[in-house]
């Protein structure tokens, strides 16, 4: 089992989200310690816990330490059949203005490589100061994902802002057997 020091780099939530995403697509278990140790409020907050629970549901994973404030987590994904996840319909509510975009980015790689298409509905923050907004996701991030062969349809049902959240977004992910390489060889035009 991989042991990951969550205080590395910026010591924030990205190391957790990346660990979850990679565990889902590789089937490798991990334990992360000192989660978000570099933050004013260390440990799992609602958004991070929702990402853990979403990854667990998508991957049929066994988890230990998945509770608010936890600084340690064990994540053991379960693989089905030939090693690909099944896909399906999912609904996750953060319960705060935590970023729906960051939760999606955690599970999108696994859903993109699943056996079947998936639909994900997320409730929480859609336009947060310190996270990618829904508009960034729809206009910049998802077009790059599409260049890798994965079609993702995004719909903003209701925007959600700090401090209440309350936003609702849906994503329909058409899965593929294999991702195409993302080649960014030329700089695009600067648009103001």
CA distances from 186 to 26, 46, 183, 189 (A): 31, 39, 9, 10
With 60 as the cut, is the pLDDT of residue 81 above it?
A: no
Residue 79 reports pLDDT greater than 90: no
CATH architecture of 1-81: 2-Layer Sandwich (3.30)
Q: What tens digit of pLDDT does each residue of 93-112 get? A: 999 999 999 999 999 999 99
Average pLDDT for 63-81:
90
Give the number of other CB atoms < 10 A from CB of residue 5: 13
Domain segments of the chain as ranges: 1-81, 84-179
Q: Is the pLDDT of residue 19 over 70?
A: yes
On average, the pLDDT of the chain sits at 94
Question: 84-179, superfamily in CATH?
Answer: RNA 3'-terminal phosphate cyclase domain (3.65.10.20)
Residues facing 17 on adjacent strands: none
Give the single-character DSSP code of 125.
Answer: B
In this chain, the answer to whether the domains covering 1-81 and 84-179 adopt an identical fold is no
% of the chain exceeding 90 in pLDDT = 89
Q: Is the pTM of this model over 0.85?
A: yes
pLDDT score for 181: 96
What pLDDT is recorded for position 86? 85
Average pLDDT over every residue of 113-117: 95
Give per-residue pLDDT as tens, 137-173.
999 999 999 999 999 999 999 999 999 999 999 999 9
């Amino acid at each position: 089992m991989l042991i990951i020091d969550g205080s590395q780099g910026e010591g924030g939530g990205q190391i957790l989200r990346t660990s979850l995403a990679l565990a889902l697509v590789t089937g490798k278990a991990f334990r992360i310690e000192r989660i978000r140790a570099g933050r004013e409020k260390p440990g799992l907050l609602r958004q991070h816990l929702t990402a853990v629970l979403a990854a667990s549901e998508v991957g049929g994973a066994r988890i230990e330490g998945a509770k608010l404030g936890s600084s340690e987590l064990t994540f053991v994904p379960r693989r089905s059949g030939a090693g690909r996840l099944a896909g399906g319909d999912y609904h996750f509510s953060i319960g705060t203005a935590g970023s729906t975009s960051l939760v999606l980015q955690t599970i999108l790689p696994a859903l993109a490589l699943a056996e079947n298409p998936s639909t994900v509905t997320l409730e929480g923050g859609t336009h947060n100061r310190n996270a990618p907004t829904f508009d960034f996701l729809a206009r910049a991030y998802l077009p790059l994902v599409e260049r890798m062969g994965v079609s993702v349809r995004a719909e903003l049902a209701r925007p959600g802002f700090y401090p209440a959240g309350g936003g609702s977004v849906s994503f329909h992910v058409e899965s593929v057997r294999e991702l195409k390489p993302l080649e960014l060889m030329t700089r695009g035009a600067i648009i103001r």
